[in-house]
Structure 1
Amino acid sequence: MTANRLRRLAVGTILAACPAFAGQAAAQLIPIRTVPVATGDQFLTTPAANFGMAGLTYAVDDSIADGWSNPAKGALLSESSLLSAPVYYGISDGGGGGFTFPIAGLIKGDRWFGGATAALQEIDNATNFRGWPGDGERLSDASTRNLYAGGFVGRRLGSGGWSLGIGVRTARLQALDGVDLLYAGADRIDQSGSIHDLRLGVYRESGRDRASAVLVRNSVSMTHDVTYADVAWVQPNLFSPPERVVSLTTETNLDRTRTWGLQLAWDRRLRAPGWRIGTSLTANRKSHPKIPNYNIQNIPRDPGNSTAWELGFGIARSLDGTTAGLDVALQPIRSDTWQEAEDPVETTNGTTIPSGGRTIENDFSFLNVRLRVGVAHEFEKVGVRLGLEGRSYDYTLEQTNNVNGEYRTQDESWIEWTPAVAAVFRLRGVDLHYGVRLTTGTGHPGVDRGIVVNSPDSGGDFVVAPEGPLTLADATVHTHQFWVRIPIR
């Protein structure tokens, strides 16, 4: 089957959107998933003390990572420090991997606080995407480089417990993890683009209560130059052996997503010793002015909009060096994508859809659930952390094809599990942290007609309108984070 034939069989509308820059920073960016794609921790570029506790957040502080999520919560920094947190992740069955080398600094003053980070990253493409055998592999086909930078600054205001902060992060990318699997039958894919993230935060501590708010503006701008190869065998004459003739075509796909996010959070220290409860309300509004082309009609303009909510609750207890906590989050989400006709299209009932009219409409309704449980114990020189996260995805797709007058519905659901463990070693003047986590329940998805549907998870978000019931070839993701912290005293 030729590459162009595979391209014409690509399924539905695929939407890549809104990567977050780290696990904690993703708290205000709600992921949207319609296929259980196995992707890695590309955007885990800063350390997190709660890594081994499954990322507990609602009722458990993380003084290392909270400032990246809400710049005003840099007020919770315990001390100034220098950090480096190398991360390696890999995906089984040749799904690729990556290595990230970040450095960061956190500063705590009497009134002012802040942080800065920079990271160099290498992404290893999936081994099942390597072009034609014997053609000579380009360096960019095997691995690519990404650069990250960011910072935040904030200030405590007077004696009322108020703090304000602003943070910015940016990435210059040559690869988004998983895109090499996104274009079925492609010979080569060249990616380029950037991601920008701006955050404004406020935080207040008053007695037993603490409250915070953060406003997020996140933008994704990527370009995919995709080369397809059509191969034919030509026999010049009856006495010559057949010769392979390859014709190449290159198309440019744009991926543009803009997100506004708002999160309101509150927690309280209870009167019972060591107990704390917390809750948060998060809202995202995502616009997708350009989605790449992967559908049978190959229409070059595929907009969409998504609205996502998250209501979270957590409870934790810290006593005698032991902390245990539980997070529960409910995520109702609506996502609408459609295809616009570039030229007038005649329908099967004899009417005409004008230029700019909708040819296909996809309406998704989600009700996702996330559970986290974690425990940590601190000995004199060693700390141990254990955690487990479960993410349940459930959605209904209602698809209307305005060209042929067809309507269909589809229900899909699955669960992903991520156990984690970490250890902290406190030496004289240096803290060493090592954590590992494993994600199961994902893999290389497709549909029961044998068409592969893959999409990038940039920490993240994607919406695929599958052509039929999903199938899954299991794969696992393993992530290792080792960080060194040097306190500045």
Structure 2
Amino acid sequence: GLKTVPVATGDQGLVSPTKNLGIGGVAIALDDPYSDPFVNPAKGVQIQKIQLFSSPTYYNISDENGSALTMPLGVMVRHKNIFGGVMLSVQQMKEPPRQTFFWGPWIENSFVDGSALRNKQRHNFYAQGFLGKQISENTALGLGIAYSGLKAVEGTEFLYANSNSVEQSGRVWDMRLGLLSDRPARQMEAVLFYHTYDMTQDAKYPYWWANPDPIFGYQNFEDITVHNRDLTRTMGLHLGYRQPINRETGWNIGGIFTANYKDHPKIPNYEIMNIPRDPGNTWAFNFGVGISRDFAPVRFGIDLIFEPVWSHTWANAESEMISGIGTIISAGNKTVENHFEFTNWIFRMGLEQHPINNVFGFQIGIEILQYQYWLDQDNYVVPFSRSQRESWMEWSPRIGLSWHFPTVEIGYTAKVTVGTGQPGLAFGNMFVSRAEFDTSDIILAPAGSLSLQEAHVLTHHITLAIPIN
């Protein structure tokens, strides 16, 4: 997802099994037989047997900033020219402890820990499946559907840093149609997809008000609820190409192109941003090249992806208003416009040693994400214009181990992500308003330059694959 703040996020969306996680997630020129069918349903044609699988995942954000445990269970099958798979997952998330800051005539600099007021465990449910058919010797067609029922999205509460609590509820739908042409000389694929992210967020803020009680005086507190909706619709096309360079040595080269159009009719009014009620739209592209070698006893791969993105968000006047220079802004006209231009890069590299003595193998890899964007903001109310540039890098080294037995395959990957944290707004040495990330895009215009309290994310991922025949 897109980011305009360097948030420390866990692997909440890591619910599918994957073989290439330990080698950096390399995917352009190297197959991942576990996760490929959930990305392009037509790749389910490569299933050779009935297989049960599970991929338990646990992650923890440092300094008690959140954690989650995910337990998936699924099956992949093929019968003649028909293939398919289904996976169900439950997820338990532990929210970070929260503190609420109060001001009042008799309360100064008081922090109240809100974590004891309610259960801090939240549960999410995920379901995804695919179904396809081999329509010719070298061609397959597949359809995939995924659904997520969410009661928590990692870090959303820290986007409302001064609130007592944030109640979340929503769903995610993903539908995709995949086509695969796999010939000895080349492999080509195409995926059409539609994705909807729809969440509601009810943030409760403490409110103190004066009570002229002659005995107890000023004593009244109540919660004010701010209702927000986060809605994004994405339509896209993904194209992939791969061909061998040298069959005898196992070298391959590949490329990808992805185009996304995102509609943001509802963007929440997060505390870190300075303009409320921002709808908008985004055009995002991926251009990637990859090289790999799959030649026993070694699998090796490198991916390099360039991601240019253009995003436009704005705020509309709810009623007629007068600007700071006396001009009239009619209801419905824009009061603010934000223009984002991203130039992001993704680098992945990894090496896998095939099972030694057909039993034990290992992986090592790294993923590096570089985010960079320019923001041009025009405020028609004050009026004024400003520009802001932000950039950061996220590093994610990982290592993996695998055990191969006749009746089961077991894989374990540990990875750590650094270079992110809890962002806020920097005013000299003052840190205001912590923020975190949710699984949707964050297209918010920060009110000023960003600061960062660094954190790291440690993830443990286990893959179990049990062939039935």
Give the TM-score normalised by structure 2.
0.93
SS in 2 for 1:67: helix
Answer yes or no: is the 8 Å Cα contact 1:54–1:419 preserved in 2.
Answer: yes
Aligned to 2:9: 39
Aligned to 2:108: none
Of 197, 209, 224, which residue of structure 1 is paired with 2:174? 197
Of 134, 139, 145, which residue of structure 2 is paired with 1:162? 139
Of 44, 47, 67, which residue of structure 1 is paired with 2:37? 67
Q: Which moved more, 1:71-80 or 1:325-334?
A: 71-80
How big is the shift at 1:300?
6.4
The aligned amino acid for 2:250 is: G
Q: Which moved more, 1:126-135 or 1:357-366?
A: 126-135
Answer yes or no: is the 8 Å Cα contact 2:272–2:446 preserved in 1.
Answer: no
CA distance 1:270–1:299, change in 2 (3 Å): closer
How far apart, in 2, do the equivalents of 1:281 and 1:343 lie?
A: 43
Aligned to 1:253: 228
Question: CA-to-partner distance for each residue in 1:436-472, whole Å, 9 max, x for gaps?
Answer: 11000000111212322514231x5212211222111
The aligned amino acid for 2:442 is: F
The aligned amino acid for 1:137 is: A
Answer yes or no: is the 8 Å Cα contact 1:129–1:180 preserved in 2.
Answer: no
How far apart, in 2, do the equivalents of 1:398 and 1:295 lie?
A: 20
Map 1:352-363 to 2 at 5 A. 352-363=328-339
Choose between structure 1 and 2 for higher RCO, CA contacts under 8 A separated by at least 6 residues: 1
How big is the shift at 1:108?
2.3
Of 204, 229, 240, which residue of structure 2 is paired with 1:227? 204
2:409 pairs with 1:434: no
How big is the shift at 1:259?
0.2
How far apart, in 2, do the equivalents of 1:312 and 1:296 lie?
A: 33
Of 42, 52, 67, which residue of structure 2 is paired with 1:97? 67
Of 370, 378, 387, which residue of structure 1 is paired with 2:365? 387
Aligned to 2:106: none
Map 1:248-397 to 2 at 5 A. 248-272=223-247, 273-294=249-270, 301-378=277-354, 379=356, 380-397=358-375
The aligned amino acid for 1:182 is: L
The aligned amino acid for 1:352 is: I
Aligned to 1:478: 458
SS in 2 for 1:180: helix
Map 1:205-224 to 2 at 5 A. 205-224=182-201
Answer yes or no: is the 8 Å Cα contact 2:162–2:433 preserved in 1.
Answer: no
Answer yes or no: is the 8 Å Cα contact 1:299–1:340 preserved in 2.
Answer: no
Instruction: Flag structure 2 segments of 5+ consecutive residues without an equivalent.
Output: 102-110
Paired residues in the alignment total: 454
Aligned to 2:90: 120
Structure 1 vs Structure 2 CA RMSD: 2.0
Question: CA-to-partner distance for each residue in 1:343-363, whole Å, 9 max, x for gaps?
Answer: 112101111111111111110
Map 1:44-55 to 2 at 5 A. 44-55=14-25
Aligned to 1:83: 53
How big is the shift at 1:263?
0.4
Instruction: Flag structure 1 segments of 5+ consecutive residues without an equivalent.
Output: 1-30
The aligned amino acid for 2:464 is: V
How far apart, in 1, do the equivalents of 2:217 and 2:68 lie?
A: 41
The aligned amino acid for 2:226 is: E
SS in 2 for 1:137: helix
How big is the shift at 1:235?
7.6
Of 381, 385, 392, which residue of structure 2 is paired with 1:403? 381
Answer yes or no: is the 8 Å Cα contact 2:100–2:113 preserved in 1.
Answer: no
Aligned to 1:446: 424
How big is the shift at 1:297?
10
The aligned amino acid for 2:86 is: A
How big is the shift at 1:229?
0.9
How big is the shift at 1:128?
2.9
Answer yes or no: is the 8 Å Cα contact 1:32–1:463 preserved in 2.
Answer: yes
Answer yes or no: is the 8 Å Cα contact 2:309–2:342 preserved in 1.
Answer: yes
Give the TM-score normalised by structure 1.
0.89
The aligned amino acid for 1:190 is: E
Moved over 4 A (4+): 129-132, 232-235, 240-243, 295-300
Question: CA-to-partner distance for each residue in 1:396-423, whole Å, 9 max, x for gaps?
Answer: 1101101012011111111110001111
